[in-house]
Amino acid sequence: MNLKQNKALYFFVLPGLILYSIFFIYPTLSAIFYSLTDWDGLTADYNFVGVENYINIFTNDSIFVKAFSNNIKFMLFVVIFQTAFSLLFAIYLVKNTKTNVFLRALYFFPTILSSVSVAFIWSFIYDPNLGILNTILGKLNLEVLSQNWLGDQDIAIFSIAVVQVWMHTGQMLIIFVAGLQNIPEDLYEVAKIEGASRWQSFRFVTWPMVAPAATIVVAYTTIQSFKAFDLIYAMTRGGPNYSTEILATFIYSTAFRSFKFGYASAASVIFMIVIAIITIIQFKVLRSDRVNN
């Protein structure tokens, strides 16, 4: 039986389609529409300005360029280190022993905390005067490494990226553990018989088999890094001097501080396109690597 034979089956799809239309298709189309206007978000009046908002974003808005650059730095740092750490921990915690199960739960715990709570905890850790991080460095006679972690424009975005990695590594670890546990032990036994080293076993057995999980982790981590609004806003509000401004905080500030909803909608459309392009590229790269293996 298929949809052509029994049209009543369409009704099973209808509820999901309605919800998808209300919460995704309609808001997306609305954003595209308002991006072509100068709507202020407060009144019913607006004027069509065409692509003027987009032109201004790309040619006259240095803050948007700064936010985009920060977002790319933040994304690359988080994707590289979060993926690497989660895979490394998963390899060592793949067996279902009591200790490993406990450690998995421990590493997963930060994920269930609210981003605002995590932001307040790490803001205290990073405090240049009373923070535990600089205090520990002082106790170890490493005062030279002490920093104003959130006040230095050169390192602030990376300091927050460390928090993002700490918060979500345990979540990605679980995905990798699931992927690793599906690898047949026979493959490792054959590799051992053939004289493969641990690195060769990882390169030619583990990685190709865990590639589907890696694709999910990388894509999800990328989206997370672009949506880290609450963490960044609670820790620095985009400062100092826009050094931690990302696209999400830029859109929020433009819409709810400057009341340029049309302009913010244009930035949102660009935001959506950027995430889509990066995700597609990642899927293609990981898929091609998987095929080559």
Which pLDDT value is given to residue 5? 59
**Cα separation, 272 vs 264, whole angstroms:** 12
- Complete domains list, the chain, with CATH: 62-292 (1.10.3720.10)
Which pLDDT value is given to residue 92? 92
pTM reported for the whole predicted model? 0.88
How far out from the chain centre does Cα 142 lie?
Answer: 32
pLDDT in tens, the chain (293 residues): 555 556 677 778 888 889 999 998 999 999 999 999 999 988 889 999 999 999 999 999 999 999 999 999 999 999 999 999 999 999 999 998 999 999 999 999 999 999 999 999 999 999 998 899 999 999 999 888 899 999 999 999 999 999 999 999 999 999 999 999 998 888 888 888 888 888 888 888 888 899 889 988 998 999 889 989 999 999 999 989 999 999 999 999 999 989 999 999 999 999 999 988 988 887 777 665 555 55
**Cα separation, 23 vs 104, whole angstroms:** 34
Which pLDDT value is given to residue 290? 54
Which pLDDT value is given to residue 293? 54
Tokens 């899927």 belong to: 283
Which pLDDT value is given to residue 143? 86
Contacts of 256 (CB under 8 A, 6+ apart): 41
Any idea what the Cα angle at residue 226 is, between residues 272 and 289, rounded to 5°? 85
Tokens 């694709």 belong to: 215
Beta bridge partners of residue 37, listed in sequence order: 48
Which pLDDT value is given to residue 288? 57
